[in-house]
Structure 1
Amino acid sequence: MAELPLRDRAGNVLLAVRRVAESDLPPVPASLVVVVHAGAVLMMFDRHREQWELPGGIREPGETARETAARELAEETGIDDVVLTFAVVAEFDLTRPVRRELLAIYRTELATAPRLTLSEEGLGFRWWSPREPVDPDMSPLDAEIAARATT
C-alpha cells in the first residue's frame, strides 16, 4: 500500500482511509464500490476524466450512501442485486471545486464474473489486481482505496 497522502495528476489528494462503523458515517456526497472477483477489482474507464476508476458517483436527494452505491453500480456496470458491505470512508482534498470531502466505500465479492454493461460515462472495463502496479492511466487514488478495501 502507498503512503498517504497520495496525489493524482489533477492535484486531488487522498488524505486518509479509515474503518468506521457505517452507523457513524457522516452524510457524504458520494459513494464508490469495490467489486471483487477472483482476487481482482473491477475498474471502469471514465470517459470524462480519461482514467480507470472505481464505479460510483454522487448521492441524489433522499438517498443513503448505501443506496447511492447500489444505484451507481447498477447504472455504470449493469451489476445489481448484490450484497454491499460498508468497507471504509475515504477523505480527500479535491481541486474542482476546492473542497475537503468524505466518500463512503462499499465492497461486494462476486463468485462468478458478471455480465457488464457500459453506460454513457464509461468506455470500458478491466479487472485489476491490487498486487499489480498502478498504470499511468489509472487513478492512483481509486487504486489505493481498492487495495485498502480488499485487505
Structure 2
Amino acid sequence: MAVLPLRDRAGNVLLAVRPLAERELPSLPAALVVAVHAGAVLMMLDRRRRQWELPGGVREPGETCREAAVRELAEETGIHGVALTFAAVAEFALAEPARRESLAVYRTELATAPRLTLSDEGLGFRWWPPGDPVDADMSPLDAELAARVATT
C-alpha cells in the first residue's frame, strides 16, 4: 500500500482512508464500490476522464450512501442484488473545483464472475489484481482504495 497522501495527475489527493461504523457515517455526497472476484477488483474505463476507476457516483436526493452505492453499481456495471459491506470513508482534496470531499466506500465479494453491462458512462471493464502495477491510464487514487479495501 502507498503512503498517504497520494496525488493523481489532475492534482487530486487521497488524504486518508478511515474505518468507521456505518451507523456513524455522516451524510456524504457519493459512494464507491470495490467489487472483488477471484482476488481481482472490477475497474471501469470512465468515458469522460478516460481512466480506469471504481464504479460509483453521486448520491441522489433522499438516498443513503448505501442506496447510492447499490444504484451506481447497477447502473454502471449491470450488477444487481449483491450484498455490500461498508468498508471505509475516503477523504480527498480535489482540484477542480478546489474542495475537500469524503466518500463512502463499500465492498462486495462476487463468487462468480458477473455478466457486465456497459452504461453510457463507461467504455469497458477490467479485473485488476491489487498486487499488479498501476498503469498510467488508471486512477492511482481508486487503485489505492481498491487495494486497501479488497484485502480487508
Instruction: Tell me if both proteins adopt one fold, taking TM over 0.5 as the criterion.
Output: yes
The Cα offsets for residues 96-137 of structure 1, whole Å up to 9 and x where unpaired, read as 111100000000000000000000000000000001010000
SS of 2:52 mapped into structure 1? strand
Share of identical aligned residues, percent? 77
2:132 paired residue number: 132
Q: What letter matches 2:6 in structure 1?
A: L
SS of 1:83 mapped into structure 2? coil
Q: What letter matches 1:82 in structure 2?
A: V
How many angstroms apart in 1 are the aligned matches of 2:150 and 2:18?
Answer: 13
Query: What value does the CA root-mean-square deviation take over the aligned residues?
Result: 0.4
1:112 paired residue number: 112
1:47 paired residue number: 47
How many angstroms apart in 2 are the aligned matches of 1:150 and 1:7?
Answer: 21
What does residue range 1-150 of structure 1 map to in structure 2 within 5 Å? 1-150=1-150
SS of 2:75 mapped into structure 1? helix
- When normalised by structure 1's length, the TM-score is 0.99
- When normalised by structure 2's length, the TM-score is 0.98
- In the alignment, structure 1 segments of 5+ residues that lack a partner are none
SS of 1:146 mapped into structure 2? helix
Give 1:150 shift: 1.4
SS of 2:86 mapped into structure 1? strand
Give 1:2 shift: 0.4
- In the alignment, structure 2 segments of 5+ residues that lack a partner are none
How many angstroms apart in 1 are the aligned matches of 2:29 and 2:95?
Answer: 15
Q: What letter matches 2:146 in structure 1?
A: A
Q: What letter matches 2:16 in structure 1?
A: A
- Count of residues in Structure 1 that have an aligned counterpart in Structure 2: 151
The Cα offsets for residues 70-108 of structure 1, whole Å up to 9 and x where unpaired, read as 000000000010000000110000011111000000000
